[in-house]
Amino acid sequence: MTALLASEWTKLRSVRSTPLSLLAAAAVAVLGGLFSATGRAHDYAALSAADKLAFDPVNLSFDGLAFAQLAFGLLGVLAISSEYTTGQIRTTFTAEPRRRRVLAAKAAVTTAVALIVGQAMAFACFFLAQLGLRSAHVNVSLGSPGALRAVLGAGLYLVALTLLGIGLGALIRHTAGAISTVFALVFVVPIIAANISGWTTWPSKWNLWAAGNALIATRPQTPGAPSPGLGLLICTAYAVVPLALAVLIINRRDA
């Protein structure tokens, strides 16, 4: 298993898209949070009393995450779908016929990278955004209620997206199709849920972005939003279910 992990690490770091996509995600997330915080600090004095009461300086730190999150799903998809696209997966399965071990190694290595990069990015987003809020004296520290939990939650949300990408990549075995599915779950489903919330509310509560937003918020963002605990449970389900299905069928399909 050690040799298999080393092999998967070599594959992951040697693909040019891995560092480029993660670097782009970090830039978008950090700068997006900083610009949003600076703009909100400038407008804070003009907010109503109700808006000031609902103001969440921690959640604001992760405004850029809404756009950067796709890169982590892409990382997970490419970790396995790229081998199916090039046919290299046949060589991998020849070297290690136990396909579930291969999938486990890919998930372990990719998740470790996503956790380290995602968590570092989350802390950077938080600290830089609080600098942007300092001029309005609404910045908070990691010791503030819920702040550390939200920062750690941001990193876990990105890990969930990575595992979702791996699961979908193994199930669909086609890069474009798997990425399109991740995009739909992250962006399209929440938009649809928001537009149909007038006659049914469960899609607004159980979609992936609502769950992730619950993890990175210290105050409820919308009525009926999931709690942080429920948000973590939903994110775990999105990550585990596709991966579990991939584990079940990976031995039953041609490479």
Domain ranges of the chain: 2-252
Please give the Cα distance from 77 to 106 (Å, whole number).
11
What helix, strand, coil percent values describe the chain, rounded to 5?
80, 0, 20
Q: What local confidence, expressed as pLDDT, does residue 111 receive?
A: 93
Write the CA distances from 248 to 81, 99, 145, 214, integer angstroms: 17, 11, 42, 31
Q: What local confidence, expressed as pLDDT, does residue 50 receive?
A: 82
Q: Which residue has the tokens 């990175």?
A: 216
Low-confidence ranges of the chain (pLDDT < 50): none
Phi-psi domain of 155 (left: phi exceeds 0; alpha: psi -120 through 50; beta: other): alpha
Q: Where are the alpha helices (DSSP H) in the chain?
A: 2-14, 17-43, 49-54, 57-60, 65-86, 88-95, 99-133, 147-172, 175-183, 189-195, 202-206, 208-216, 228-249
Q: What local confidence, expressed as pLDDT, does residue 183 receive?
A: 92
pTM: 0.90
Q: What local confidence, expressed as pLDDT, does residue 222 receive?
A: 67
Q: What local confidence, expressed as pLDDT, does residue 121 receive?
A: 94
Q: What local confidence, expressed as pLDDT, does residue 197 receive?
A: 66
Q: With beta carbons less than 8 A apart as the criterion, state whether 81 and 169 touch.
A: yes
Q: What local confidence, expressed as pLDDT, does residue 163 receive?
A: 95
Phi-psi domain of 253 (left: phi exceeds 0; alpha: psi -120 through 50; beta: other): beta
Q: With beta carbons less than 8 A apart as the criterion, state whether 210 and 227 touch.
A: no
Other beta carbons within 10 angstroms of residue 87's beta carbon come to: 9
